[in-house]
Chains A and B, each alone.
Chain A
Amino acid sequence: MTVQKGLRAVTGRRGYALSRSGALPATLMLALALTGCGGGSSSTPPTTPAVSVSLSQSAASVTLSQTTSFTATVSNTTNTAVTWTLSGAGTLDTSGNYTAPDDLPSNTAATVTATSQADTTKSASATVTITSNEAVSVSPSSHTLQTGAHQQFTATVTGSSKDTRITWSASSGTVTSSGLYTAPTTVPSGGAATVTAASMAAPSATGIARVTIQSGPVIPTNNVASVQVNVGPAENSANQLFASVTICVPGTSNCETIPDVLVDTGSSGLRLFASLVDLSLPESTDSSGNPIGNCAQFADNSYMWGPLVMADVQLTSGSSTTAAEKASSVPIQVVGAGGFPSVPAACNTGGVADDTVEVLGANGILGIGVFQQDCGSFCATNISSNAPFYFSCPSSGCVQTTVAVADQAQNPIALFPQDNNGVLISLPSVSADGAAAVSGSLIFGIGTQSNNGLGSARVYTTDDLGNFSTTFKGASYSMSFLDTGSNGLFFLDSTTTGLPNCSDDPGFYCPGSTMTFTAITVGTNGTSAPITFSIANADSLFSFNNGENAAFSNLGGSSSQVFDWGLPFFFGRNVFVAIQNESTPGGPGPYWAY
């Protein structure tokens, strides 16, 4: 006998009738036994032969979605009507037609029963076995892909089921519900992946495609950022180099782009004015949970003061086929943040607060010099009023503190996933009269892509303060440096150079006619090369073209007893800035190469 777990009425797929499970078969057995007794006892009056029921098939095998018909024969009664019931998957109609389900059930056995309506204790049953003849094939059946590449696969399903849906899966990489496969970004072990299409009707029916995966170019990174020299956001700038910086709430696509940020190789760290930052960025805190205040000082005795916050920093644009240069969770400084404690005395040594676009001539500073941090290891272990970079700032006021190197303001380039060992600054030449605007590029990385190789550039290493030497008229000036954030060629003084100071703007030189000089830059590795440069009358430069020019190749002025090779040095040159301790094809930073 078939074990019956329940009886289904023929009138409804999910309705239940005659639910006295187990009762009917026992009754049926008794009836069948009686039927076999023939006349029975002679003392018993003659009786009408018992009603019996039989089926045209005692067992049947049905494939998915297919129908088989049962016929019931009822004997010994004029009422030959039967009631059809089904136990198990599928459907059974009132005429005894059984239809298998579209999807293979977990229990592939079903029972069809016909019960006499004349004598409901009489019935006959047949066992139905639900089978699948589904088969799946995948095209193409084998394929070779490069890492990260895509391939559309197609599945063909044969078999009786009306359900032709497919489930896709891949042993490595990803595949969409429509069969679009993407290879993993690295070659998997074995060098291959399997893409599988499985029938939803019969999951054991599968087709596979074997994909051989070869290492290919990873998604290229766009390492070029456009930069400009123009009058800038305050319309008062001369020789200031501007980049656009996109900042995001860490780990999100909640971002904003701030244009006209000063590119400064003389400092490290991104510093933005609070008035321009609309995002709500998480504050950096010290070990006591207090906000960290950051002080950045500059040679003109100005300073920037404000809290460190965390942001993802993106310096180039990405697309569907190229990745952007983006550093995650970078401590950056927000300058002039409202509600933050005022500047400590150790930071403001009688200087000018660089806290507005008008004062700075830019929307912030992008410090991408030779160091990874503004202070470095000293501030991680020492508190000194002679290095007042970091403060613990509870609302009661700020006291100087130590901050771990990784938590200090960071040169974002060093935190890129790639192209992180430095930057190539490429600016066009500027004519002797100046230009209203010029455009150039920051190309991230040194020797990491086809567009940032050192080529014929020579490497000038710096000392651990970021300085090298410059020799001029036989004297050596050891604390010289390159600095895009200085807007002129600032060197020595009027007495030493013979260049008169301007009367209107005494920081600049105003020779009667343009003068040309040669100085020798000398790296700490001994590399040296003469640099020829010209100094024009600054007053004339600033008044030429109705005063609308903003880029000058021959603007110079007095300095301390060094050469501060400012932005004019960079016009018409490719200059590499290698970050300290980063490896490059030209050896480890810090160095400049040109």
Chain B
Amino acid sequence: MKTACAVMLALLLKANPAWAVLGQPLQSVTDDQQRLHGELRAVAREGYAVHEISSPEGMVVKEYVSPDGMVFGVSWQGPAMPNLPKLLGSYFAQFQQASQSSPHRRGPIALHTDQLVVESGGHMRAFHGRAYVPSLMPSTVSEAVVQ
């Protein structure tokens, strides 16, 4: 965790939150605006920004954005699984392959490669997880910030 994470900007938007896709530029995605009806809070930290959407039922999705506007990480927490295909975008296929390649495994899914990290865990009513693309991480930012 970086120290001295100064809050440079805090936006509180009541409606129409936009959320983005891992590995894609942050932009408003109108298709997704109906997905999470909650509060959007954007916090700039040293070397990156976090866009956090909180919905009343406890779903929290965070997007970690590099200074050049790329989403290098996402995390989630909530009563149900998020829409992973939309959240992970082109990386979802790798996660899906990993989740089906472990015949003995019953429990969380953790995919750790040099190109992609996806962790999906928790239990009914309390799921959580994170994903990030190491190659997209700003050089000054630790992977541990994605949580």
Contact = CB atoms under 8 A, between A and B. Distances in A.
Contact of A349 (B36, B83, B130): B83
A299 B107 contact: yes
A479 interface: yes
B108 interface: yes
A557 B112 CA distance: 12
A371 B125 CA distance: 9
A564 B78 CA distance: 16
A376 B125 CA distance: 9
Interface in A210-266: 236, 238-240, 266
A267 B123 contact: yes
The residue among B55, B95, B119 with the most chain A CB atoms within 10 A of its own CB is B119
A494 B112 contact: yes
Interface in A538-570: 538, 542, 557-562, 564, 566
A494 B113 CA distance: 11
A351 interface: yes
Nearest to B143: A495
B107 A490 contact: yes
Contact of A297 (B80, B95, B110, B147): B80
Contacts of B98: 506-507
25 contacts: A238-B104, A266-B124, A299-B81, A300-B99, A303-B81, A349-B83, A352-B100, A371-B124, A371-B125, A378-B57, A378-B79, A384-B55, A384-B57, A387-B78, A388-B80, A465-B126, A466-B123, A479-B122, A485-B106, A488-B105, A506-B112, A508-B102, A557-B107, A558-B119, A559-B119
A177 B120 CA distance: 66
B78 to A, nearest CB: 6
A301 B81 contact: yes
B121 A299 contact: yes
Contact of A299 (B57, B77, B127): B127
The residue among A267, A479, A538 with the most chain B CB atoms within 10 A of its own CB is A479
Contacts of A303: 81
The SS class assigned to the A binding surface is loop
A490 B121 contact: yes
Contacts of A132: none
Contact of A508 (B105, B125, B129, B130): B105
B96 interface: yes
A458 B40 CA distance: 41
Interface string B129-143: 110000000000000
Given A465-B126, A507-B105, 14 more contacts: A238-B106, A301-B81, A385-B35, A386-B82, A387-B59, A466-B123, A466-B125, A479-B122, A486-B108, A488-B105, A508-B105, A562-B128, A564-B108, A564-B123
Interface in B69-106: 77-85, 92, 95-96, 98-106
Interface in A292-328: 296-301, 303
The residue among B78, B103, B130 with the most chain A CB atoms within 10 A of its own CB is B103
B37 interface: yes
Interface of B: 35-37, 55-59, 77-85, 92, 95-96, 98-112, 119-130, 147
Contact of B99 (A352, A465, A479): A352
B124 A296 contact: yes
B55 A558 contact: no
A350 interface: yes
Interface in A485-502: 485-488, 490, 493-494, 501
A374 to B, nearest CB: 6
A98 interface: no
A299 B123 contact: yes
Given A297-B81, A389-B80, A560-B119, A375 B104 contact: no
Nearest to A479: B128
A367 interface: yes
A262 B23 CA distance: 38
Contact of B102 (A266, A388, A507): A507
A355 to B, nearest CB: 14
Contacts of B57: 378, 382, 384, 386-387
A440 interface: no
Contacts of B96: 301, 350
B119 A542 contact: no
B124 A486 contact: no
B84 A297 contact: no
A507 B58 CA distance: 28
The residue among A297, A376, A386, A508 with the most chain B CB atoms within 10 A of its own CB is A386
B92 A350 contact: yes
Contact of B105 (A301, A351, A467, A505): A505
A388 B3 CA distance: 38
A291 interface: no
Contacts of A566: 107
B99 A387 contact: no
Contacts of B120: 299-301, 560
A481 B121 CA distance: 11
B105 A466 contact: no
Given A349-B84, A350-B85, A505-B104, A493 B112 contact: yes
Given A386-B55, A493-B119, A560-B129, A267 B124 contact: yes
Nearest to A262: B106
B107 A485 contact: yes
Nearest to A467: B126
A96 interface: no
Given A349-B83, A375-B79, A384-B37, A557 B110 contact: yes
Contacts of B107: 299-300, 483, 485-488, 490, 557, 559, 564, 566
A349 B128 contact: no
Interface string A351-383: 110000000010000010101001110100010
The residue among A367, A486, A493, A507 with the most chain B CB atoms within 10 A of its own CB is A507
A298 B125 CA distance: 10
A349 B126 contact: no
Given A349-B85, A350-B83, A387-B79, A369 B106 contact: no
Contacts of A240: 106
Nearest to A496: B144
A231 to B, nearest CB: 11
B121 to A, nearest CB: 4
Nearest to A465: B126
A268 interface: yes
| List of 10 A-B pairs having minimum Cβ-Cβ separation, nearest first | A486-B107, A560-B121, A266-B123, A350-B85, A560-B119, A386-B59, A465-B126, A558-B110, A267-B124, A487-B106
Contacts of B119: 493, 558-561
Contacts of B36: 386
Contacts of B79: 375, 378, 386-387
